[in-house]
Amino acid sequence: MLFFTQCFGAVLDLIHLRFQHYKAKRVFSAAGQLVCVVNPTHSLKYAPTRCAAAPASTEQGLLPPCHHREAVHDPQLVPCTCPLFSCPWEGHLEVVVSHLRQTHRINILQGAEIVFLATDMHLPAPTDWIIMHSCLGHQFLLVLRKQEKYEGHPQFFATMMLIGTPSQANNFTYRLELNRNQRRLKWEATPRSVLERVDSVISDGDCLVLNTSLAQLFSDNGSLAIGIAITTSKVHSAEAEM
Amino acid sequence: MLFFTQCFGAVLDLIHLRFQHYKAKRVFSAAGQLVCVVNPTHSLKYAPTRCAAAPASTEQGLLPPCHHREAVHDPQLVPCTCPLFSCPWEGHLEVVVSHLRQTHRINILQGAEIVFLATDMHLPAPTDWIIMHSCLGHQFLLVLRKQEKYEGHPQFFATMMLIGTPSQANNFTYRLELNRNQRRLKWEATPRSVLERVDSVISDGDCLVLNTSLAQLFSDNGSLAIGIAITTSKVHSAEAEM
């Protein structure tokens, strides 16, 4: 009996996801766009930014401070910490993707343009919605965070980070687009490197910022659809043509 | 001697304005765009929204509440109050433009696409930067407001309002664009009617919202350049074609 109840629950979940997928497709009607339903991660308390702390000893030896990391010549061997809050993991850039997939169970999606559909926007802050996006030969991390910078006034912060060094990140441009109720909000910027950590990007305010009322205007039945596109930046393209 | 000092001051002001004009042109390099340098208005305390108060007696007689105003058939004869804070003026839609020009000395600009260059962004909240924009046979009011919704945390709110009724406003789409330091932020929406008042649009959060750090990223030497474009909305255009 328990088995049948579980099966029924799973079928209901599938129908719900299918419905959300359909809704997102309706919002972003461009052909060929992949819609990814992203559930929130657990709401954890924020750990202090480890860049400010003394470097910790790991199996790879002492890690240099964050701003000295690019001294390592092979970008894949640059030491890095987990970009997410409350995670004590430390390793190298070449293994951060497998850490995010295995430990944090973050999905990775292929495609030049995708739609990120964040569910349960009503959940209390702090909450993160995270996916990885693989395109143009690199992996990117999209983080949507609900956080109270001012007590009692949660805001949403969305940013895209390259799983690579800051100099590699300068070669790309990402675009986040919200589109609903005859309103459209577009944010275009150079992705920040995952070495800079999500916390510092959000505290700098260098990302797409939505207050609660604007997030409600763009959300549909508690879900927020964000269209994502990544391109090589024009400066880089112009250099390549020369 | 005083005359010469004043002349010298005026020449310096002109050079400063010319420099800001040149900078704005450099930011928005599209040919044919008109750059308008907008100085802040006086920082006044906010008056309560008059829509919530009992209708006041004027020479035109008792004004109906804001949400009943469209009952008047000729849009030009719809009663309205001054859309700006702290102004007790009340009249009709057909004379609000002349009131804004004469009493508040707000400039009116012609052109499909213009650049609004707000100066002295460092001034304390509350401060407004306002112009009128004439295109497509109508007048629009662009308001950039610095306001503290959360004490000690000023934010910038930008919106465009049609000097007309809500049903006339539905025929248009406006776009505000910030572009600097490899970042671009675009907001597209249907303008709200000037009958709805700036205060209520900002308290609803239905506008472009910038926190201080984002405003600093987009501003250059204390000035913020906002590209403005107004078009007839697609729904309206499609209906016209049928």
> Can you tell me the distance from the alpha carbon of A169 to that of A207, in angstroms, rounded to the nearest whole number?
15
Domain boundaries, chain A: 31-39+60-241
> Can you tell me the distance from the alpha carbon of A131 to that of B30, in angstroms, rounded to the nearest whole number?
36
Q: Selecting from 1.20.1250.20, 3.40.50.970, 2.60.210.10, 2.60.40.730, what CATH number does the domain B33-41+65-241 have?
A: 2.60.210.10
What is the pLDDT, as a whole number, of residue A9? 63
What is the pLDDT, as a whole number, of residue B16? 56
HEC profile for chain A? CHHHHHHHHHHHHHHHHHHHHHHHHHHCCCCCCEEEEECCCCCCCCCCCHHHCCCCEECCEECCCHHHHHHCCCHHHCEEECCCCCCCCEEEHHHHHHHHHHCCCCCEEECCEEEEEECCCCCCCCEEEEEEEEECCEEEEEEEEEEEEECCEEEEEEEEEECCCHHHHCCEEEEEEEEECCEEEEEEECCEEHHHCHHHHHHHCCCEEEEHHHHHHHCECCEEEEEEEEEECHHHHHHHHC
> Can you tell me the distance from the alpha carbon of A116 to that of A144, in angstroms, rounded to the nearest whole number?
10
What is the pLDDT, as a whole number, of residue A197? 80
Instruction: Tell me the H-state helices in chain B.
Output: 2-27, 93-102, 166-169, 198-204, 212-218, 234-241
Cα A13 to chain center, whole Å? 24
Q: Which of B187, B208, B231, B233 to mutate to test the interface with A (most CBs of A within 10 A)?
A: B187
ipTM above 0.85, yes or no: no
What is the pLDDT, as a whole number, of residue B162? 95
> Can you tell me the distance from the alpha carbon of B161 to that of B140, in angstroms, rounded to the nearest whole number?
5
Taking the Cβ of residue B159 and every Cβ of chain A, the question of whether any pair is shorter than 8 Å is answered with no
Token pair recorded at residue B124: 């304390």
Taking the Cβ of residue A233 and every Cβ of chain B, the question of whether any pair is shorter than 8 Å is answered with yes
What is the pLDDT, as a whole number, of residue B229? 94
Which tens digits make up the pLDDT trace of B56-76?
233 333 333 334 444 556 766
**Mean of per-residue pLDDT scores for chain B:** 76
Nearest by CB: B183 against A149, A189, A209: A189
Taking the Cβ of residue A29 and every Cβ of chain B, the question of whether any pair is shorter than 8 Å is answered with no
Whether B166 has a pLDDT exceeding 50, the answer reads yes
Model pTM above 0.80: no
Q: Classify domain A31-39+60-241 by CATH architecture.
A: Sandwich (2.60)
> Can you tell me the distance from the alpha carbon of A236 to that of B182, in angstroms, rounded to the nearest whole number?
12
Taking the Cβ of residue B187 and every Cβ of chain A, the question of whether any pair is shorter than 8 Å is answered with yes
Which tens digits make up the pLDDT trace of B71-92?
556 766 788 888 887 788 989 8
How buried is A75 (Cβ within 10 angstroms: 0-12 exposed, 13-18 middle, 19+ buried)?
middle
% of chain B at pLDDT higher than 90 = 39
Taking the Cβ of residue B180 and every Cβ of chain A, the question of whether any pair is shorter than 8 Å is answered with no
Beta bridge partners of B134: B110, B139
Taking a C-beta distance cutoff of 8 angstroms, is the pair B178, B209 a contact? no
Distance from CA of A104 to the nearest CA of B (A): 30
Distance from CA of A78 to the nearest CA of B (A): 26
Taking a C-beta distance cutoff of 8 angstroms, is the pair B84, B110 a contact? no
Distance from CA of A122 to the nearest CA of B (A): 17
Q: One digit per residue, pLDDT tens: chain A, 242 residues?
A: 556 666 566 565 555 555 555 544 444 444 456 777 777 775 444 433 333 222 223 333 333 333 444 455 676 678 888 888 778 898 888 899 999 999 988 989 888 788 989 999 999 998 899 999 999 999 999 999 999 888 888 999 999 999 999 999 999 999 999 999 899 999 999 999 998 888 888 888 889 999 888 999 999 999 999 999 999 986 554 444 44
Nearest by CB: B184 against A188, A204, A213: A188
